[in-house]
């Protein structure tokens, strides 16, 4: 279940209350008249089945609540209520498969911000990966993968692409465009310092590291693993199962490949340098392609559910148009009829 806290002006809150009362997938409905002070208005609390959360929020947006008030969403971890169980049964589908798009947008918006902490994590992840390459240590490679923060902006870019939000798309690219060169530069300077201080591990050969060979020698399996990881990563994001995201980070060699670009450059190994760039490019392309395809399918399923919901009787009880959204109906009314301008007088 998802808990909603709605703050709205009284004239709008009445319609929202009618909508929620008539929706079978809503339970534990509470109405607090004139309880909100900033902005002033009424407060409505309710629990809604996760499967219907986004379609209900879309209905509430048709009243313009987000402009005059607010709609807050919060996941409920535990709830003991037979009424809530009936509400969940009234919503088609499984809660674990439901996508609450407002949550997805919030998570990706947070993770696409260019910040000092993001850049620091990128640098530290590449430095750990550099040590892993010098020691040929797969354990340290895994550690660098887990520390790397790059999947957040990648996921944000995929969400922005599917939703056609150019501003979010650009904002998602900025951390990647700045973060990866910074991490590569850090790995390069670190490797130069290791060489200058004569700390290179005995027997190290930049072209021979059997335990970490994969980070600079991409093949068809590299593409497959990155694609599968991209699908899992998006599913973990949309289903709020963050545990699977750790496996995604460990599966994809973006950070190790970026670090190896810097290490190979410092040790003047052209083949490794080119191979690491190819691995990084293929991993990024596979992740983005998989993420966009997965989100595109999920978005289409949601849109089909939304279209079906537009015929729900609860909309009629709230005064919303049946079969189309209020905004679409308003745009249709505003659109001039063919020949209308020339047909007068």
Burial category of 82 from C-beta neighbours within 10 Å (exposed 0-12, middle 13-18, buried 19 and up): exposed
Question: Phi, psi at residue 274, to the nearest 5°?
Answer: -70, -45
pLDDT at 270 > cutoff 80: yes
- Residue ranges per structural domain of the chain: 2-87, 105-302
In the CATH scheme, what architecture does the domain 2-87 have? 2-Layer Sandwich (3.30)
Q: pLDDT (tens digit, 9 = 90+) per residue, 90-143?
A: 888 777 778 899 888 888 877 788 899 999 999 999 999 999 999 999 899 989
Looking at residue 77, the DSSP 8-state letter turns out to be: S
182 within 8 A of 119, measured Cβ to Cβ: yes
Do 120 and 182 meet the contact criterion of CB atoms below 8 Å apart? no
- The 8-class DSSP code of residue 99 comes to -
Q: Kindly report the length of the chain.
A: 345
CA 60 to chain centre: 23
Residues of the chain with pLDDT > 90, as a percent, come to 56
Question: So what's the pLDDT on residue 208?
Answer: 77
pLDDT band at 2 (very low <50, low <70, confident <90, very high): very high
- Widest distance between CA atoms in the chain: 95
Is 105-302 a CATH 1.10.287 domain? no
First-to-last CA distance in the chain? 59
Structure confidence by residue, pLDDT tens digits, 285-333: 999 999 999 999 999 999 999 999 999 889 988 889 888 887 766 655 6
* pLDDT recorded at residue 15: 94
Mean pLDDT for the chain overall: 88
Q: How far apart are CA 140 and CA 131, in angstroms?
A: 8
**pLDDT tens-digit map of 241-262:** 655 565 566 667 899 999 999 9
Residue 345 has pLDDT above 50, yes or no: no
Residue 342: pLDDT band by 50, 70, 90 thresholds?
Answer: very low
Q: Which two tokens stand for residue 252?
A: 């994809």
* Mean local confidence (pLDDT), 164-192: 94
- For the ranges 175-184, 189-198, 210-219, 278-287, which has the lowest average pLDDT? 210-219
Angle made by CA atoms 252, 256, 262, in degrees to the nearest 5: 145
SS3 58: helix
Question: What would the two tokens of residue 328 be?
Answer: 């679409």
Residue 343 clears pLDDT 50, i.e. is over it: no
Question: What pLDDT is attached to residue 212?
Answer: 79
Tell me phi and psi for residue 220, to 5 degrees: -65, -30
Domain 2-87 identical in fold to domain 105-302: no
- Tokens 């050969």 — which residue? 205
Tokens of 126: 């590449």
Query: Closest Cα partner for 215 from 252, 249, 247?
Result: 252
């Amino acid at each position: 279940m998802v808990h909603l806290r709605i703050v709205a002006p009284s004239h709008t809150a009445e319609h929202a209350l009618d909508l929620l009362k008539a929706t079978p997938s809503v339970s534990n409905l509470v109405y607090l008249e004139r309880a909100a002070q900033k902005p002033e208005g009424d407060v409505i609390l309710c629990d809604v089945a996760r499967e219907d959360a986004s379609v209900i929020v879309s209905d509430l947006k048709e009243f313009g609540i987000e402009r005059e008030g607010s709609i807050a969403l919060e996941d409920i971890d535990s709830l003991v209520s037979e009424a809530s169980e009936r509400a969940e049964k009234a919503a088609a589908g499984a809660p674990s498969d439901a996508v609450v798009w407002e949550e997805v947008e919030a998570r990706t918006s947070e993770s696409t911000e260019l910040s000092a902490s993001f850049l620091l994590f990128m640098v530290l992840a590449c430095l750990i990966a550099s040590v892993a390459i010098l020691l040929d240590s797969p354990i340290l490679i895994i550690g660098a993968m887990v520390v790397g923060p790059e999947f957040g902006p990648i996921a944000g870019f995929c969400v922005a692409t599917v939703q056609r939000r150019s501003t979010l798309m650009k904002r998602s690219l900025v951390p990647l465009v700045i973060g990866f060169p910074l991490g590569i530069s850090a790995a390069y300077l670190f490797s130069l310092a290791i060489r200058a201080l004569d700390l290179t591990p005995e027997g190290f050969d930049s072209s021979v590291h059997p335990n970490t060979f994969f980070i600079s020698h991409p093949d068809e399996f590299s593409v497959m693993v990155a694609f599968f990881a991209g699908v899992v990563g998006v599913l973990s994001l949309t289903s709020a199962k963050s545990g699977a995201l750790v496996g995604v980070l460990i599966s994809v060699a973006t950070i190790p490949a970026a670090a190896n670009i810097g290490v190979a450059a410092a040790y003047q190994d052209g083949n490794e340098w080119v191979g690491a760039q190819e691995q990084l490019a293929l991993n990024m392309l596979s992740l983005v392609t998989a993420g966009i395809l997965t989100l595109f399918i999920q978005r289409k399923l949601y849109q089909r559910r939304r279209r079906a919901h537009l015929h729900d009787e609860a909309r009629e009880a709230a005064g919303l148009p049946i079969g189309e959204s209020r905004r679409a109906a308003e745009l249709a009314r505003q659109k001039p009829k063919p020949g209308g301008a020339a047909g007068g007088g």
